[in-house]
Each structure stands twice: as structure tokens, then as C-alpha cells.
Structure 1
């Protein structure tokens, strides 16, 4: 019985680890009535991400810096829930 419990737990841990990695990214929801453009910098990479009004996007799986439409700059680890409100980035 002891071996079957260990085998079962091993299977659960192995199945759990890949799922945890895939789900890790910051979730950004645009609460404004217009499209918001965020400047996202991850390491050496810089890109603009347009998020439509009312839309939700996942960004920064490995952490990044984000510049909001208001000009505010924040650092994200990649596991936050973020809202864009009046052009500002609000971390929940």
C-alpha cells in the first residue's frame, strides 16, 4: 500500500508541475472605453501591446516592466492581476 501511495503522489506532482508553469503570466484587463497601448519590456525585448476596451490579455510570463498610457512604469513578476483604469495601471 505504501508503494502505491508514493506512486500516486509522484504522478500527481509530475502532472502538476507543467500546468503551474503554463498558467504563470500577468492578466491585464482594460476597464477603459478605448484601446490601451502598453509598452512591455522583457529583458532586451521591447514591444507594444494593444488591449481593446473591455478585453483581457496575458503578458509577462517571466516578469517585465510595463509603461502605461499615463506614462507610469511598473514592474511585474508575471503572476499579477492588473487593470487599466483611466489610463493608469492598477495591480490587484
Structure 2
């Protein structure tokens, strides 16, 4: 189960980064997305979330394999494709 939770945390952190990047660098970026507070909040969130996800992945790889662990392993294999599909839509500058 830890493997699945770790993969989910990593995917969420990458999607949050892509969303924030699109909001901050877009041509019609709102004022709240251009400020230091927005950048700091996203940075703190990512600094906390991504390593926790990586730790859960490492913990999940050291445990005995259960059906949830196998689902996490499959998700770990599918994660690059999911990120590749989701990130361009989130980082779109519109």
C-alpha cells in the first residue's frame, strides 16, 4: 500500500508544479499567481510532498508484495505516461 501512496504523492506534486508553472508564466497570469506568496506556498508544498512520496515508494519496495503493492508497482510503471499526458494540459499558457 505504501508504494501506491508514494506514486500518488509524486504524481500530485508534479501536477501541482505544472499547474503553478502555467499560472505563473502565462501571458494573462492573475496578480495572485505572480506574487512571492504564491511561489513560496507552492515551493513549501512541493518540498514537503515530493520527498514524502519518494520515501513511501522506497518503503513500499522493501515490504512484502501484496495486491496493493502490485497495483503500486503498475502505477509506478505507468506514472511517466500519466505525467506526460497530464502536464502539457496543466502547464498550458492560455
TM-score between both structures, scaled by the size of structure 1: 0.30
TM-score (ref. length: structure 2): 0.29
Q: Quick check: which one's strand share is greater?
A: 1
The structure carrying a bigger helix percent of its residues is: 2
Work out which structure has the larger RCO, using CA pairs closer than 8 Å and 6 or more positions apart in sequence.
Answer: 2
